[in-house]
Amino acid sequence: MNNFSYIKAENTDQAISELDGDIRNKIIAGGTNINDLLRYFITKADKLVDINPFLEHNTVICLDNGGIRLGALCTNADTAYHPIIEERYPLLSKAILAGASAQIRNMATNAGNLMQRTRCYYFYDIHTPCNKRDPGSGCSAISGYNRIHAILGQSENCIAVFPSDMCVALAALDAVINIEGPDGKKVLNFADFHRLPNQTPHIDNNLLHGEVITSIDLPENGFPKNYSYLKLRDRSSYSFALVSVATAFDIENNTITEARIALGGVSHKPWRIREAEEFLIKKEPNSQNFAQAADIILKGARGYEHNAFKIELAKRAIIRNCIMALHPESQRTGAKPSL
Amino acid sequence: MMQTVRTHLISIKVNGEDYHLELLPWISLLDVLREKIHLTGTKKGCDHGQCGACTVIAEGKRILSCLTLGVMKDGSSITTIEGIADGENLHPLQQAFSDFDAFQCGYCTPGQICSAIGLLSEGKANTREEVQELMSGNLCRCGASKGVIDAIMQVKEGCGNE
């Protein structure tokens, strides 16, 4: 690690003041990713602003509009096991519990989950070119070992994927993100938070320097009757997704009235295509329709030397998870396949 | 602009004893325990959150001490492997690990046991499969994982959490 100073901020205003809009001043909360990034010189800091004293942001509360608010500092474990989340937003609970390990979920915060960085091997190897770590240096993954990399939304500058499980569910559930900064408060739709790499892969999301995420809101409908989170990976636990799928349906009289499908492990952000969801409305929930939806979602997918298998894997995962969502009681620990 | 780096005075309770330490900001809790307090039972494996050897219990929850800065734990209460036995009497999980051959080289064992204490207090694992899933953050390169799960299951069933 480089040498940095450290300060505890007692409230949002103090944190914003301490950050001072400077990219070298960074927030630390759970610390599960930034400690790693600092230790291996992938990122450097002049100052760490510890926001853990923000006790008002470490809870889950119900909102007047019927939705709920996840505190930015509520841990992933406390969120996943919260009675409201388990009962009304089980898709979110399952997705969180499919990620990381029990120890890391006890430490990692909800806002930190959004802010975590890719686990691309080359991003973490400071001896190789990486446009995300060192803009303009090149992408080692495109012609390197790219088994875990993107098949959708990538650019010629970066094929890294965003590693979160929780965020795949938040994308499917139409979360919104509450932010405070030097210019006041603002709200971002979840779909507008993370970015595709394009020409600027070093910028993961649209949070500006000096801004702080204070909470994440979910709308009233958490799809508790028909949901499923499927995570496919190289080992059965404590591993990042090769492909993951969050699926949620409202179904009446064997007809889909509302559909959500989001993918993880395939792009620089949680991947959601509204056209596919609209295709399923007023359709019967069956494999044929799910396969057509999968084709819409995966339109334009492109594989590389070691990850082309992900395209077919993603198609099968979408179909399988849509079927699993019809029987959510079959969900198993850690988002393991139930069929 | 480069900030002025200074040490921080912190108070931390480890295994019931109070310590007052002067720390640089970037020193991990793991290094505080091992190098400042000289409790070397907590092990440094990967030192970046992938193996679980450094697991300790902070405010009743299992965490990775390698991914925590010491300065962030000012005012906290930490339990390490050195703090779980009752005098000469082993903690039930220590005894069970011995009974079930739940280790070979023993390097991961302190983290395994602290993690298992956290697992049992969380009360979220109802089946062997769920115990396996919720212990997946602790790796054993010797391959003693079956014994680890056997030991935890015995203690879990013994304490009526089934």
List, for residues B10-42, the tens digit of each pLDDT value: 999 999 999 999 999 999 999 999 999 999 999
pLDDT computed for residue B1 by the predictor: 53
Whether residue A315 lies inside any domain: the answer is: yes
Give chain B positions within 8 Å (CB) of A52.
Answer: 72
Q: What is the pLDDT of residue A57?
A: 79
The rounded mean pLDDT for chain A is 96
Mean pLDDT of A142-146: 98
Whether A261 is in a domain gets the answer yes
Instruction: Specify the pTM.
Output: 0.97
A102/B72 touch (CB, cutoff 8 Å), yes or no: no
At B161 the pLDDT is 43
The domain total for chain A is 2
pLDDT value for B159: 66
Q: What is the pLDDT, as a whole number, of residue B2?
A: 56
Helix extents (H) in chain A? 12-19, 34-39, 76-80, 83-88, 90-97, 102-107, 110-115, 121-124, 166-172, 274-280, 287-297, 309-325
Query: Residue A270: its pLDDT value, please?
Result: 98
In a domain, A265, yes or no: yes
- Chain A residue nearest residue B27, CA to CA: A1
Query: Parallel, antiparallel, or unpaired: how do β-strands A5-8 and A47-50 relate?
Result: parallel
229-258 in chain A: CB under 8 A from chain B:
237-238
User: In this complex, is the C-beta atom of A104 within 8 Å of any C-beta atom belonging to chain B?
Assistant: yes
Residues 4-23 of A with CB under 8 A from B: 4-6, 22
CATH of the domain at A316: 3.30.390.50
Q: Which DSSP string corresponds to A317-330?
A: HHHHHHHHHT-GGG
Given A36, A77, A106, which is nearest B49 (Cβ)?
A: A36
Candidates A25, A41, A103, A109: best to mutate against B (most CBs of B within 10 A) is A103
Query: From the centroid of its chain, how far is CA B16?
Result: 15
Give me the residue label for tokens 């900064």.
A181
Tell me the per-residue pLDDT of A1-38, one tens digit each, with 9 for 90 and over.
889 999 999 999 999 999 998 999 999 999 999 999 99
A189: left (phi over 0), alpha (psi -120 to 50) or beta: beta
Side-chain-facing half-sphere of A308: CA atoms under 13 Å: 2
Q: How confident is the model over A260-269, as a mean pLDDT?
A: 98
Q: Does residue A197 fall inside a structural domain?
A: no
User: In this model, does residue A183 exceed pLDDT 90?
Assistant: yes
* A201 has a pLDDT exceeding 50: yes
- Cα B118–chain centre separation: 8
Q: What is the C-alpha end-to-end distance of chain A, expressed in Å?
A: 46
In a domain, A26, yes or no: yes
Chain B residues with CB-CB distance to A48 below 8 A: 25, 69
Nearest by CB to A6, which of B8, B130, B132?
A: B8
Using the beta-carbon criterion (under 8 Å), do A4 and B25 form an inter-chain contact? yes
pLDDT > 90? residue A332: no
Cβ atoms of B58 and B66 closer than 8 Å: no
Residues pairing with A185 in the sheet: A180
What angle is formed at CA A266 by the lines to CA A262 and CA A268, rounded to 5 degrees?
90
Mutate to test the interface with A, among B3, B10, B134, B145 (most CBs of A within 10 A): B3
Q: Which CATH number fits domain B8-82: 3.10.20.30, 3.30.70.2740, 3.40.50.970, 3.40.50.2300?
A: 3.10.20.30
Domain assignment present for residue A28? The answer is yes
- Residue A209 domain-assigned? no
* B87-145: pLDDT as tens digits: 999 999 999 999 999 999 999 999 999 999 999 999 999 999 999 999 999 999 999 99
A4:B5 CB<8 A: yes
Q: Domain residues of chain B, as ranges?
A: 8-82, 92-158
Of A1, A52, A102, the CB nearest to B134: A102
- The predicted pLDDT at position A56 comes to 73
Residue pairs between chains A and B whose CB atoms are closer than 8 Å: 100
Name the residue among A5, A32, A238 with its Cβ closest to that of B25: A5
Tell me what the mean pLDDT of segment B44-61 comes to.
97
CATH architecture of B92-158: Orthogonal Bundle (1.10)
pLDDT of residue B162 exceeding 80, the answer is: no
- CB-count exposure of residue B160 (10 Å: 0-12, 13-18, 19+): exposed
Q: Note whether residue A311 is domain-resident.
A: yes
Round the CA-based radius of gyration of chain B to a whole number and report it.
Answer: 16
pLDDT in tens, A45-59: 999 999 998 767 789
Mean pLDDT, residues B3-15: 90
Domain that holds residue A269: 226-328
What is the reported pLDDT for B141? 94
| Contact criterion met (CB < 8 Å) for A50 and B63 | no
Residue that finishes a domain, picked among A36, A52, A68: A52
**Are B133 and A237 within 8 A, CB to CB?**
yes
A107 close to B (CB below 8 A): yes
pLDDT band per the 50, 70, 90 thresholds, residue B53: very high
Q: What is the pLDDT of residue B3?
A: 59
| ipTM for this prediction | 0.96
| Identity of the residue numbered A3 | N
Res. A146: pLDDT tops 80:
yes
